[in-house]
Amino acid sequence: MFPKPTPPVTATLALVRQSSDDLVEEADRFEQVAMARYRTSRDLDDIAEAAQRRAEAIARLEHSLRRVHPEAA
């Protein structure tokens, strides 16, 4: 339903492939910053499910309103 944003991990992977411990530390820090900017997929799934339930509830309310007050439609 919603696009899943992905952190820019390409640079992180490039740094991790190098042997320097300093570069590995830099990659870890970069990944932490990137992950802090994006929600996890599970969070997005929860948001999508909540939005779906809300949309269904609104549709039910609108349908009930049209049945009780047809002139409101």
Segment 1-57, tens digit of pLDDT: 555 555 555 555 554 455 556 656 766 776 676 666 665 667 767 777 888 888 888
Burial 37-63 (b: 16+ CB within 10 A, else e): eeeeeeebeeeeeeeeeeeeeeeeeee
Give the pLDDT score at 16: 47
φ and ψ of 23, to 5 deg = -70, -35
pTM: 0.42
Distance (Å, rounded) from C-alpha 55 to C-alpha 52? 5
The answer to whether 53 and 1 are in contact (CB under 8 A) is no
Which amino acid is residue 1, in one-letter code?
M
Looking at the fold, whether 44 and 73 belong to one and the same domain comes out as yes
Looking at the fold, whether 20 and 48 belong to one and the same domain comes out as no
The domain total for the chain is 2
Looking at the fold, whether 34 and 61 belong to one and the same domain comes out as no
The parent domain of residue 53 ranges over 40-73
Looking at the fold, whether 33 and 44 belong to one and the same domain comes out as no
Give the pLDDT score at 15: 47
Looking at the fold, whether 52 and 34 belong to one and the same domain comes out as no
Looking at the fold, whether 45 and 32 belong to one and the same domain comes out as no
